[in-house]
Amino acid sequence: MKKRPCLMPVFLILLTCSHAMADGRLQDTSIDACNALYHENNFEDAIGCYQRLSNSEHSANVLYNIANSYAQLDQPGYSVLYYLRALSLNPGDSDISGNLAMVKDEKGLFPPEKPAILRFFSLLTLAQWSILCLLSAAGYLVFACTRLSRPKNMVLETFVLLLCTILLAAGVFGAGTRYREWQQAVVVKDSRLLVSPFENGASLGSIDQGSLVSPHKEHGDYWYVTDERGRKGWLKAETFESILP
């Protein structure tokens, strides 16, 4: 009677190899490996993979995929945070801003409407407002140098000076406004705004994940912040993260 070959060792070898291949994939920190996990809807592992990439590899697309992954895992706080980080690198991307708006709408995150002047200064990025400052200053210097060899024209000089001053002031104010916006933080855990920086402090109300706050000063494990509705109080440091780390 012929003996049947034992298949158990072969099965164990194949099983060990498959686990080794899977572990190797999770430890692979290449963008292609992370994208593969993302497209397979393996969102938790994709997030971990993307976050192990070096800072130089954190492009707008990578941050966008992290934000989408958190949205799929129903974590709106981190989703909003990474959408905003992606927008800081690519502010004109309609896919990023559209998904951000969708997450906010789904979670009922409706901040007060900005005044018209702040909406105007949101039309350009921080870099673009800064460039406007430089161009207006450089433009006036070039004009001032060229007029030395020409007859004086008070009307023209006044117009150019006024125009350059207005552009410079707009650039400075716009850059400052955009800079303050990017210094905000996103609440990543449902939390309470407290009257004092203590665990048993009285509550001023709850703050949902995905809400924006402006940190002012630190005391122990707490930060004094202003939220989007203008409320001021203390939040635990672990409950929010800065847009620009």
What are the pLDDT digits (tens) for 129-150? 889 889 988 988 888 888 777 7
Q: Quick: pLDDT tens for 166-209.
A: 999 998 988 888 777 778 999 999 999 999 999 888 999 999 99
Strand-strand pairing, 185-187 and 240-242: antiparallel
Q: Quick: pLDDT tens for 112-124.
A: 777 788 778 777 7
Q: Rounded to an integer, what distance in angstroms lies between the CA atom of residue 66 and that of residue 79?
A: 7
How crowded is residue 60: how many other Cβ atoms within 10 Å of its Cβ? 17
Which secondary-structure segment (H or E) carries 54?
Answer: none
* Mean pLDDT, rounded, for 35-54: 93
Backbone angles phi, psi at 93, to 5 degrees: -80, 115
> What pLDDT score does 73 carry?
96
What token pair was written down for 96?
């990023």
Q: How would residue 8 be classed by pLDDT, with cut points 50, 70 and 90?
A: very low
- Higher-confidence residue of 109 and 82: namely 82
Strand-strand pairing, 191-194 and 185-187: unpaired
Asked if 188 and 239 count as a contact pair (C-beta separation under 8 A), the reply is yes
Q: What percent of the chain has pLDDT over 70?
A: 88
> What pLDDT score does 29 carry?
66
- Higher-confidence residue of 245 and 241: namely 241
Q: Which are the contacts of 29, defined by CB distance < 8 A and separation ≥ 6?
A: 49, 52, 53
Q: Is the pLDDT of residue 10 over 80?
A: no
Burial class (CB in 10 A: 0-12, 13-18, 19+), 28: middle
Identify the CA nearest to 87 among candidates 71, 74, 98: 98
- Mapping DSSP to helix (H, G, I), strand (E, B) and coil, where does residue 15 land? helix
> What pLDDT score does 212 carry?
94
- Mapping DSSP to helix (H, G, I), strand (E, B) and coil, where does residue 30 land? coil
> What pLDDT score does 118 carry?
77
